[in-house]
Structure formats: C-alpha cells, structure tokens
Amino acid sequence: MIVGLRHDVDNVYAVRRGLPLLVSIEEQYRVSSTIFVRTDVLPKQSYRDYMKQLESRGWEIGLHLINTTGTPSLPAPQTELSFLRKIGLNIQGVTPCGKTIGFKDDVSWKIMDALDLKYMEGYGYPSYKTKTFVMPTHLSLDIHYVRNFGEKEGYRRFKADLLQKLGKDKLATVLVHPEWFVRSVGGSGLMKIPLTLLRKQMMNRIYDVFLSEYKGKVEFKKYIDVCHLLVSNNF
C-alpha cells in the first residue's frame, strides 16, 4: 500500500518556520515528501536556496499554481513555472492554489495540462483526456479533518477514510500545510492566537502520530515516485 505525501506552501511564514519543523519530523522517519510552493513566497534568495537545499536532500519541489485561470492581471502560469526552474529546481508536477483564484474545474485542468509536466493534481478528474498524468485527489488532514472535527475526532475520521482508500485502491495521497506546524489550524481570526499558545489543533503531534502509526504498514512516497509507479502500471 502506498501513501503519497504532499505539502502546500502558501505564505512566507510557512517557508521560514513551518517547513523546518515539518522536515525535521519526516527526517526522523526517513521519509521525504513533495512540497508545492507558490512563487510569491520566495522573495529572498535565502528562501530560494532553502528550497534547492531541500531538493538536494531528497524532497521534491513542485509548482503550487497561483494563476489557475490564466487571468492577464497575474503572471502567466508558464512564467510561474519558469521562475522556479530558473532558481534551479526540477519541477515535475503542479497543483492549484486555492487562495488567489481557486480551482475552476476544466479551466484549471487545461491551464495545468498546458505546462507539459509529468503530473498534476486538482479535485476529481477532468472531463477530457489529458496529456498530463492526473494524480488521485488528496485527503486534507489539517484543513478538513482537524480544523472541522478537532484533533481526536478529526484524526479518527481521517484514518477511516484513509483505510477505505487503501483498501479499495492500495493508494492514497495526503495533504498537510507547513504553516499549521507553528500555528493552530483550529478556529478563525483572533481565535487562532489562544489556540496556538495552548498548542491546540496544531499539526506537529498529529503528523508525527500519523507517520509513526503507518510507518512499515505503507510506503510513504513523493508524488513523482507515485506518478512513475502508476504510469508504469497503466493505472
């Protein structure tokens, strides 16, 4: 059974504070994952160098696409991809970012498909035949399960859905955002401050428990490795 690990970097705080904590947990279990990054969260050379360092250490870096509809008021999708490649990153996959425009079904699929990458992931599957391999939709451990149901019940529901997917397909993909390793995913607005201080609904412990519980039971893989495996087996 295989679990693809995905992380979306949506802000500078996640680069500076969240990613190092997340990576340190994965290192303990000798696991490496795929980190999808927005281009606008890498304003400093030190942040770009950090991404290159992670890639050299075994993590995969992918494009977390901001311009999911090709709107002319934002940098073109191909420009986003070129930016990361000019840094020296080996970008092979793309996912849509939901914070600026969001995912717009076939419109976004076609935008991502036109980038000619190895794989892409969105929500569900496109209605047309793509040239780019489409990864199975992820389970959002943080912003769906833990945020909506709390740590204990959220993790219970997550495990139930994970086991269902693994039982059916022998494969699942899981998303966790680095920013919630330093801030609480619970509540909204100012409520996040006391929850963070009390270390409630933060992903450090939950992610550690998840990796600990399933290490040895499943194979944790980067998205590109899952893609290669599925393509070679005509999934």
Q: Can you give the pLDDT at residue 193? A: 86
Q: Can you give the pLDDT at residue 128? A: 93
Give the CA dihedral 63, 150, 104, 85, nearest 10 degrees: 0
Q: Rounded to whole angstroms, what are the CA distances from 70 to 48, 78, 114, 163, 212?
A: 25, 10, 11, 37, 41
Around Cβ 46, how many Cβ atoms within 10 Å? 10
Domain range list for the chain: 2-228
Strand, coil or helix: 54? helix
Q: Can you give the pLDDT at residue 235? A: 60
Q: Can you give the pLDDT at residue 189? A: 81
Indicate if the alpha-carbon torsion angle 89, 91, 95, 100 is positive or negative. Answer: positive
Tokens at residue 163, please?
């086991």
CA angle 109-111-115, nearest 5°? 110
Q: Which CATH number fits domain 2-228: 3.20.20.370, 3.40.50.620, 3.40.50.1100, 3.30.2290.10?
A: 3.20.20.370
| Residue ranges in the chain whose pLDDT is less than 70 | 234-235
Q: Can you give the pLDDT at residue 187? A: 80
Q: Can you give the pLDDT at residue 185? A: 92
Q: For residue 7, report the phi and psi dihedrals to the nearest 5 degrees.
A: -135, 135
Q: Residue 207 burial (CB < 10 Å; 0-12/13-18/19+)? A: buried
Q: Can you give the pLDDT at residue 196? A: 82
* Beta bridge partner(s), residue 65: 96
The residues near 153 (Cβ < 8 Å, ≥ 6 apart) are none
pLDDT digit string (tens) for 91-102?
Answer: 999 999 988 999
How far, in Å, CA of 66 to CA of 141, rounded? Answer: 22
CA angle 206-211-214, nearest 5°? 120
CA angle 114-111-44, nearest 5°? 95
